[in-house]
Chain A
């Protein structure tokens, strides 16, 4: 048997869930969410740029430098993968 507190919780939660789930699927919510995501991204980029300038002024590496380095390593890894594939194909052919 369902306890009283659970019945009370469900009675409150169910209409709230239904309303919030249909609000999430509404055009208005999605348009607002798009604005929110873009604003968040712009603010993050601005603050990152400012931090980067400040850190560079002190000759220190910033987050962006680490990502550039990571992406260079990733690009090298991709080249190694391509070479590996080429060698495999040659092996299979011979």
Chain B
């Protein structure tokens, strides 16, 4: 660690750079190619010269945040790590929705976009199967896809920080229980839940968090590595996206009020989807200190799927501890890669 004088000089330098916006980190640097798109859905394939394992890995991102958290900085990139380990990595990303997407339902994603993306992936990679990975609400979508589409060649599936028991979701979910807010109370004139509403919700969960983050930043302002990581994470945390209104109405009625995921039966418009129909190898990864998707909400999933090979990975971290931070580097990423590797073939 530099001495006190040096630290103060570094603080001044980094502080000035911060105030002028000169040290904003560049995120999502892993090289990739767009292989398919439909409406706002985008399927990206990460470039690699060392694809050693099959089937390819498809990461389905959440609908409530931007996907660059999975490829934040070169040294903290979940995607970069998996590519480096020899996996053929695809990412299904959602561009921020606009009024044209307001009527997107859960079925739009589960019966249209995700199966479409899997079809495009198989064609592009020349593969016959896929390993499906869902992050946060993307995990909910992948559960519904795997359970509701037995015809899709999903060899393994994994969910990270994915809610299941909505009674355990705390403030964000309890605000929408029977007798409290209706979904339409937060849907705006464009038919979307504005990003601001999500931001305010997350801020309310930890009222002193903004202050603590600022104090942490000031304390470590001399540390270039900390500053870069901090700014990247702050940028992502403030970069929420709107949520399609129709899908939000279903989230409230099915997932929150009927707690359908926890019941194991999700009545979608086409048919009822049973989690016990998920029979492929399944990993449920969740974090003990997750304030957004508490561990108690994710935990029951392992027992609800019908797979003989269902296991869980508990992390001692928060919601994004899978992708950034010490736990991600030392525990999450290596264990996740190992789980997938043991259920894949050498190419």
Contacts and interface: CB of A to CB of B under 8 A. Distances in A.
Contact of A70 (B39, B99, B205, B207): B99
Interface stretch (B87-95, B155-163, B183-191, B329-337): B183-191
Interface string B74-101: 0000000000000000000000001110
A67 B180 contact: no
A25 B26 CA distance: 36
Interface string A55-82: 0000000001001001101100110010
Interface residues of A, number: 26
A34 B180 contact: yes
Interface string A7-19: 0010001001100
A67 B194 CA distance: 14
A87 interface: no
A13 to B, nearest CB: 6
Given A13-B208, A30-B171, A30-B180, A6 B102 contact: no
Interface residues of B, number: 27
A13 B208 CA distance: 8
B99 A21 contact: no
B334 to A, nearest CB: 30
B8 to A, nearest CB: 13
Interface string B171-186: 1001100001100011
6 closest cross-chain pairs (CB), A and B: A74-B99, A77-B100, A67-B189, A20-B207, A74-B100, A17-B208
Given A67-B190, A74-B98, 20 more contacts: A9-B215, A13-B208, A13-B211, A13-B212, A16-B208, A17-B212, A24-B204, A31-B180, A34-B180, A38-B181, A41-B185, A64-B189, A70-B190, A71-B99, A71-B189, A73-B99, A74-B99, A74-B100, A74-B190, A77-B100
